A and B are shown apart, each in its own frame.
Chain A
Amino acid sequence: MIVPPPYQLALSAVLFTLGMVGVLVRRSALIVFMSIELMLNAVNLALIIFARLRGSEDAQVLVFFVLVVAAVEVVIGLAIIVDMFRSQDTVDVDEADLLKG
């Protein structure tokens, strides 16, 4: 391992933080969704780093499952966004307040 682990982990932490800021700041459901993907990838990177540090491939299998769940999540999430756009003509998450009462 040529690159020191703290630098790798720093990349993971910063990417996760960027995703979090995106979820907090943006209002377009599509961008919020992409920010969530960014956070998932940051976590995947952390898992891969720790798999390498510990010399065990178990975390890589976990990343495989994260990939599967992310694929399903994107399919369902985008279907919901399209449905929201059809019924409300917007993908602004602040406008999605039908359940607000």
Chain B
Amino acid sequence: MAGAVLFTVIAALALAGGVGVIASRQPVHSALSLLLVLGSLAVDYLLLGAQFIAVLQVIIYAGAIVVLFVFIIMLLHARGEEDLTRRAVLPPAAAVSLGAAFGLVLLIVLAGIAPPPAAVDARFGTVQNVGRILFSRFLLPFEAASVLLLIGMVGAVALGKRLPARSGSLPRGASPAAAGELRR
């Protein structure tokens, strides 16, 4: 009973956060809504017996990724805002109805393939259990993931470096008008 009440609260918070992400005018409000979604999903993971993943969710997603988002929003400041006067390629009404239809199909398919819940013991989803699988059957993907992280690090450094203007590319710090000129 307590679990059902908790899940209702979690689901309401997650959905409110999800709407907040896509409906906020300010990017920083979107980032905070994303944090709300991530936090409530972490609690839901606990309900589903995934303690290890719940902790990872808080550390990696809420702790690292959202902070990175907020940093970039701070860096781009208010100039990163959308021009809301222009018409979107896809009208919002069309996108929402398309989304509703898609969500319905997704829900029917997902609910259709859901097996009945299996009985699990109290140690399901602990760091010990998940770690044992991770370091035995999934050892090679685990090592590949570390290489991927290295590539991401090197790539971010390479992208973040201020390169001298190459011939044929846009000069750094060019005004939008000048950029438009070049593009034409």
Number of B interface residues at 8 Å Cβ cutoff, please give it.
Answer: 97
Q: Which residues of A contact B148 (CB under 8 A)?
A: 68-69, 72
**Per-residue contact bits, chain A 1-38, to B (CB 8 Å; 1 contact, 0 not):** 11101111111111111111110111110110111011
Q: How many residues of A contact B (CB 8 A)?
A: 79
Q: How far is the CA of A68 from the CA of B151 in the complex (A)?
A: 12
Establish whether residues A55 and B120, one from each chain, have CB atoms under 8 Å apart when the complex forms.
Answer: yes
Which residues in B have some Cβ–Cβ distance to A below 8 Å?
Answer: 1-4, 7, 11, 14-15, 18-19, 21-22, 24, 27, 30-31, 34, 37-38, 41, 44-45, 47-50, 52-53, 56-57, 60-61, 64-65, 68-69, 72-73, 75-76, 79-83, 86, 88-90, 92, 95-96, 98-100, 102-103, 106-107, 110-111, 114-120, 124-125, 129-130, 133-134, 137-138, 141, 145, 148-149, 151-153, 155-156, 159-160, 162, 169-170, 172-176, 179, 183
Supply 13 further A-B pairs (C-beta < 8 A) apart from A30-B80, A78-B69.
Answer: A3-B4, A14-B107, A16-B106, A21-B96, A27-B88, A30-B76, A33-B69, A38-B37, A49-B48, A52-B48, A67-B56, A67-B61, A73-B152
